[in-house]
Amino acid sequence: MSSAARRRKGGEVESDYIKYLKYKNTGFQVSASDKTLVWWPTKDADRAYAHAEVTKDDGKNFTVRLEDNTEKSQPKNEKTYLGVNPPKFDGVEDMGELGYLSEPAVLHNLKKRYDAGLFHTYSGLFLVVVNPYKRLPVYTPEIIDMYRGRPRDKVAPHIFAISDGAYRAMLNTRQNQSMLITGESGAGKTENTKKVIQYLTAIAGRAEGGLLEQQLLEFNPILEAFGNAKTTKNNNSSRFGKFIELQFNAGGQITGANTFIYLLEKSRVTAQGAGERNFHIFYQILSKAMPEELKQKLKLTKPEDYFFLNQNACYTVDDMDDAKEFDHMLKAFDILNINEEERLAIFQTISAILHLGNLPFIDVNSETAGLKDEVELNIAASCWACRPPG
Ligand SMILES: Nc1ncnc2c1ncn2[C@@H]1O[C@H](COP(=O)(O)OP(=O)(O)OP(=O)(O)O)[C@@H](O)[C@H]1O
Ligand SMILES: [Mg+2]
């Protein structure tokens, strides 16, 4: 039985769509009497703005009474006079509808919606997605069906509505379409990019379970293993930018894809900040999912033994199992037809980097460094199938 169906059992009919995507105004609301309210910046750690009551306003200057009853005056202009919208605007789906459109008005609306469990809101052409930090059933096949072919203003804000809009615009105008996914680290760019691909493969795929669709959905574990790392802001932070190009035929079916990668943070390979890790792949090849025989061949032991991994003693990530992720990546290798020989070459390359990090440098004299021994150098050289110099 599907989870949606299970929830419906027992007469509790509240679809995931209504629950997580539609704002419910919490009943009758009295507007704030005849007071005129504005937003006033605070220095509080948990809020950027608070309400203040306008007590004088001559058009040029205005005076407000703050929560602590002190009064403040300011010249009146659109930057200082940040009107509070009436409560009927609370939770609007498109912030373009707000009478007063200012930073505090936008933040207030996003918070109202987020507190009600809704994390998608439009701001004109943009969709603002606030990270829910929990898996919610809003990306299910049932929800995909609700968005398929529906105009944006007929359905609640969602990444699927934006994806559907781009797809329909491509079919109607026969022009390329772009989506820009941006935000600070940990905002949810990678997660939402995957949802766009999930949606487009569902509505524009050739056949259920087709190889190309599967490849599109599954190439991420590989990119993430080699390009993502734990940082202090995000346990799975992408340390590169990417441009994904999807190609469609005249009938609107997906026919191919390209991914262009920009600016990988290479410095992370040799050193990481406090509380951060190297790229996931290094820990994955040292996990229990890596075949023992291969580990021995590549002289791999445990993360604690490698200088490139042990400088901060940060080895694990909450809620992430390196062995499971490695298995996931191997499945992705299967789907993308990366053969045994290529896999071995990849693991050899990664292992050699770890061995090179352990070269035992010594001071020969004040101007020259040398190696205490060549054990690690020889292992690295054999991983790369080359002879060490000398
Ligand atoms: N829509 C979502 N539903 C559930 N969890 C989410 C969602 N979006 C983000 N998250 C959570 O937040 C974490 C960070 O998101 P994500 O990796 O997409 O951020 P990012 O914007 O790509 O950051 P970076 O710039 O560091 O790569 C995810 O690992 C996941 O736990
Ligand atoms: Mg990312």
Q: What pLDDT is recorded for position 33?
A: 60
Alpha-carbon span 314 to 377, nearest angstrom: 25
Dihedral over Cα of 13, 17, 19, 23: its sign? negative
Ligand 2 centroid – CA 266 distance (Å): 16
**Residue 303 structure tokens:** 């993360």
Per the structure block, which two tokens stand in for 50?
């608070």
Q: 183 alpha carbon to ligand 1 midpoint, in Å? A: 10
What's the 187 CA to ligand 1 centre distance in angstroms? 6
At 130 the pLDDT is 98
Q: What average pLDDT score do residues 368-377 get? A: 94
Per-residue pLDDT at 29 exceeds 70: no
Mutate to test the pocket of ligand 1, among 20, 163, 190, 325 (most ligand atoms within 8 A of CB): 190
| pLDDT, mean of residues 196-206 | 93
Q: Report the distance separating Cα 303 and Cα 281, nearest Å.
A: 11
With a cut of 60, say whether residue 28 has pLDDT above it. no
| Per-residue model confidence (pLDDT) at position 26 | 60
SS3 string, 194-239, reads HHHHHHHHHHHCCCCCCHHHHHHHHCHHHHHHHHEECCCCCCCEEC
Question: Which residues have CB under 6 Å of ligand 1?
Answer: 131-135, 183, 185-191, 234, 236-238
Q: Which bound ligand lies closest to the C-alpha atom of 192?
A: 1
pTM for the predicted model, two decimal places: 0.91
User: What does DSSP assign to residue 94?
Assistant: B
Pairwise CA distance, residues 361 & 185, whole Å: 36
Alpha-carbon span 136 to 159, nearest angstrom? 14
Average pLDDT of the residues in 348-377: 95
C-beta of residue 322 within 8 angstroms of C-beta of residue 330:
no
Of the candidates 38, 162, 157, the residue with the CA atom closest to the CA atom of residue 103: 38
pLDDT of residue 20: 86
What number is the average pLDDT over the span 233-248? 97
Atom index in ligand 1 nearest the CA of residue 192 equals 1
Q: Which of 5-9, 67-71, 262-266 has the lowest mean pLDDT?
A: 5-9
Non-local CB neighbours of 228 within 8 Å, separated by 6+ positions: 190, 236, 237, 238, 239, 279, 280
Closest-approaching ligand to the CA atom of 234: 1
200, two tokens: 């487009």
State mean pLDDT over 81-86: 96
pLDDT at 305 over 90: yes
Kind and range of the H or E run holding 254: strand 254-262
By the 8 A CB rule, do 17 and 156 touch? yes
Distance CA 128, CA 114 (A): 11
Helix axes 211-218, 189-204, angle to 10 degrees: 170
Query: What is the average pLDDT across 18-41?
Result: 76
Say how far apart CA 38 and CA 83 lie, in whole Å.
Answer: 4
State yes or no: pLDDT of 319 exceeds 90: yes
